[in-house]
Structure 1
C-alpha cells in the first residue's frame, strides 16, 4: 500500500495526529483557521521530536522525520509546511550545539513546554546563507536591540518562539554570527498580513517585524567558531546544518502532496498500466533519494559537499514531484478535476516547492563546483 511505511512511522511518533488526519477533510483543514493546525501540532505533533533525549526530546532520526513529513504532506499540506519550518529550525539548533553551546537551555525549554518555533532565518532570501541576516543588532546594557523583518514567516500568529540569525561585530572587532530568540507575546513584535493566495494559506505565512526588540543576553547565542577558524571543507557548517535539514523536510512534505495525487490515480486504477508504472517509478526513485539524504544527516554529514548533495537531491525530488503530480492529474482526468477540488488544490500546491530556497539558478555555480 502506498505510504504504508510512512504511516507506520507517523503513527509511532504521533498516533493521535494520524487518527485525526485520517478522518478529517483535507480541504476543510486547508481552508480553515490556521490556529486549528497550530493547536493540533502543539498538542499531538510532538514539537520536540528532533531534540535529543538528554534534553527532554524524543531523539527521532532524520529518516523517521522524512517519512513522517511525507505522510503529513499527503493529508494536510499546510500542516506539513508548519512542521517543516519548526522542525528544520529545532533540528538545526540541535545539530549546531557544537557551534552554539549556549543553545542547549533553549532546546530543553522547547522540549519541556512543547513550544512551537517559527523560523526567522534567511531562507526567504535568494542565494543567502540561512544564518546570514539583515537584522540590525545593537548591544545595550539590557542585552541586544534588534530591528528588521521576515516575510513570509510561517506560523506568524501562532508561534511561541521565533528564532532569527544575527550578524554582530564584537567589541574586539571580531565578526560573529548568532541565533536570537523572541517571544510571541513581546509587544515589540508586529505581524502584518502578507500571504494572499488560497494555497497553503492555513500555514499562516505572513510578515513578522521586529521594532526595537530587546533580546536578553541569555536568549542570544553566538557561534563558538567562525569560518576563519575552520578548514575549507568545514566553512559555513553552522549554516549547512539548518539548510540541509530544510532541504530534507521540505522535499519530504511536497513529495507527500504529490503522493496524495498519485494515490488517488492508483487506487482508481485510472490510465494504462504503463502510466501507473511510470508513477510508481518516480515515487520510488524520489523516496529512495529522500532516504539517502536522511541517512547522510543521521551520519552527521554537514560539510560543503554534503550541502551540495542535499541541494541536488532536493532538485531531483522537485522534478519528480512535478512529473508525479502532472501524470496523476492527467490519469485522473477531467471528471476528477470537475468533481473534486482536492485534485486541483494538490496539483498547484505541489508546484510551490520551486519557490522555497535555494533556487536552482542560485545553486548552479555551487553545485558545479562541489559535484563535478
Structure 2
C-alpha cells in the first residue's frame, strides 16, 4: 500500500483526525474555512506531539513526526503547513527549555490546553535565513517592546501563541537573535489579510503586526544566553534547533503533496514502466533522505555541520518533489488534468516549497563552507 508506514503512524498518533482526512475531499478541505482545520488540529491533531511526556506531551520522535507530516501533506496540504509551523516551533522550544526555565511552563500550558503556536520568523522574505528578522526590540523596565510585522504568518487568525524572531545588539555590542512569545488575545497584535492566491489558502497565512507588544523578560530568549553556556563546537546550536526541525517538517509536508500526485499516477498504471520506475526511484530516494535527517535529530545532532546537512537534504528533497510532481502530471495526462481539479492544485502546491526559508541563494556560502 502506498505510504503504508506513514498511514500507520498517522493512525497511531491521531486516529480520529487521520480517519477524517482519509474520507474527506482534498479540495473541500483546501477551499474550506481555515477555522475547520485549526479546530481539527487543536482537538484531534495532538498539538503536544513533540513535547516531552513529563510536561504532558506525547514525546514523539522526529522519525514519527516526519512520517505523520508526509501522510497529512498527501491528504490536506494546508493542514500540513499549519502543523509544520506549530511543531517545528514547539520542538525548538523543547530543546531550549534547559536554558530558559520559563519556557517549560509555557510548554506545559500548550500540552494541557492543546494550544496552537504560530511561527513568526523569516517566512516570505527573499534570501532570508529562517530566524532572521526585521522586527525591532527595545529593552524597557517591564521587559521588551516589539514592533514590526510578519507576513505571511500561518494560522494568523487561529493561533493561541505566536513566537517571533528579533535581531538586536547585546550590552557588549554583540549581534544576537532573540525569540519572543506573544499571546493571541494581546491587543498589541493586529491582523491584516494578505494571502490572495487559492493555493494553501486554508492555512490562514496573512499578516501579523506587532504594535508595541510588551514581552516579559522571561518570554524573550536570546541566542547569546545559550552560546555563553556552550563550548566552541556547539556555538549557534540554539538557532539550529528551530532551523533543522523546520527543514525536516517542511520537506516532509511537501513530499506528501508530491506523493499524492504520484499515488494517482501509479494507481492508474499509466505511462511506461520506465517512467513509473523513475517516479518510484525519486520517491524512495526522497523518503530515505527524509528519514536520515529525522534520525539525526533523534540522535540530538544540532551542530553547525548538522544544519548544513539538514539544508542540503531539504534542497535535495525539493528537487525530487519537483521531478515527482512533474513526472506524475505527465503520466496522468491531459484528460486527467481536465477532469480533476485536485491534480492541477497539487502540482502548483508542490512548487511552493521553494518559497520557504532558507533559500538556496542564502545558503550557498554556508553549504560550500561546511560540505566541501
TM-score for the superposition, normalised by structure 2? 0.95
The residue aligned with 1:44 is 44
The residue aligned with 2:326 is 326
1:124–1:227 Cα change, 3 Å: farther
Say if 2:291 is the partner of 1:291. yes
Say if 2:362 is the partner of 1:362. yes
The residue aligned with 1:137 is 137
User: Cα offset for 1:198?
Assistant: 0.6
User: Cα offset for 1:187?
Assistant: 1.3
8 Å CA contact 1:99, 1:238 repeated in 2: no
The residue aligned with 2:211 is 211
User: Cα offset for 1:277?
Assistant: 1.1
1:224–1:251 Cα change, 3 Å: same
The residue aligned with 1:237 is 237
Structure 2: distance between partners of 1:85 and 1:284: 25
Equivalent pairs counted in the alignment come to: 372
Structure 1: distance between partners of 2:363 and 2:172: 34
User: Cα offset for 1:158?
Assistant: 0.4
User: Cα offset for 1:126?
Assistant: 4.0
TM-score for the superposition, normalised by structure 1? 0.95
Deviates more, 1:224-233 or 1:151-160: 224-233
1:143–1:262 Cα change, 3 Å: same
User: Cα offset for 1:103?
Assistant: 1.4
Which ranges of structure 1 fall in alignment gaps of 5 or more residues?
A: none
Deviates more, 1:104-113 or 1:285-294: 104-113
Query: Considering only aligned residues, what root-mean-square deviation do their CA atoms show, in Å?
Result: 1.7
Structure 2: distance between partners of 1:161 and 1:294: 26
The residue aligned with 1:78 is 78
8 Å CA contact 1:100, 1:223 repeated in 2: no
In structure 2, the residue corresponding to 1:54 is in which secondary structure?
Answer: helix
User: Cα offset for 1:146?
Assistant: 1.2
After superposition, what is the alpha-carbon deviation per residue over 1:140-188, rounded to whole angstroms, capped at 9, x for unaligned?
A: 3333221111111000000001111234555676665432111111111
User: Cα offset for 1:201?
Assistant: 0.6
8 Å CA contact 1:120, 1:165 repeated in 2: yes
User: Cα offset for 1:88?
Assistant: 0.5
The residue aligned with 2:103 is 103
8 Å CA contact 1:168, 1:178 repeated in 2: yes
User: Cα offset for 1:273?
Assistant: 1.4
8 Å CA contact 2:135, 2:147 repeated in 1: yes
Structure 2: distance between partners of 1:358 and 1:211: 27
Say if 2:144 is the partner of 1:149. no
Which ranges of structure 2 fall in alignment gaps of 5 or more residues?
A: none
Deviates more, 1:111-120 or 1:219-228: 219-228
8 Å CA contact 2:237, 2:303 repeated in 1: yes
1:304–1:172 Cα change, 3 Å: closer
After superposition, what is the alpha-carbon deviation per residue over 1:68-120, rounded to whole angstroms, capped at 9, x for unaligned?
A: 00000000000000000000100111122244343111111111110000001
After superposition, what is the alpha-carbon deviation per residue over 1:262-294, rounded to whole angstroms, capped at 9, x for unaligned?
A: 000111111111111111111111000000000
User: Cα offset for 1:127?
Assistant: 4.3
Structure 1: distance between partners of 2:154 and 2:204: 5
8 Å CA contact 1:145, 1:213 repeated in 2: yes
Deviates more, 1:5-14 or 1:229-238: 229-238
User: Cα offset for 1:139?
Assistant: 2.5
The residue aligned with 1:347 is 347
Alignment of 1:1-80 (within 5 A): 1-80=1-80
After superposition, what is the alpha-carbon deviation per residue over 1:330-369, rounded to whole angstroms, capped at 9, x for unaligned?
A: 0101110000000000000001101111111221111111
User: Cα offset for 1:226?
Assistant: 5.0
User: Cα offset for 1:230?
Assistant: 4.5
8 Å CA contact 1:72, 1:80 repeated in 2: yes
In structure 2, the residue corresponding to 1:214 is in which secondary structure?
Answer: strand
Structure 2: distance between partners of 1:132 and 1:280: 37
Structure 1: distance between partners of 2:326 and 2:107: 41
Structure 2: distance between partners of 1:364 and 1:234: 22
8 Å CA contact 2:130, 2:357 repeated in 1: no
Deviates more, 1:93-102 or 1:146-155: 93-102
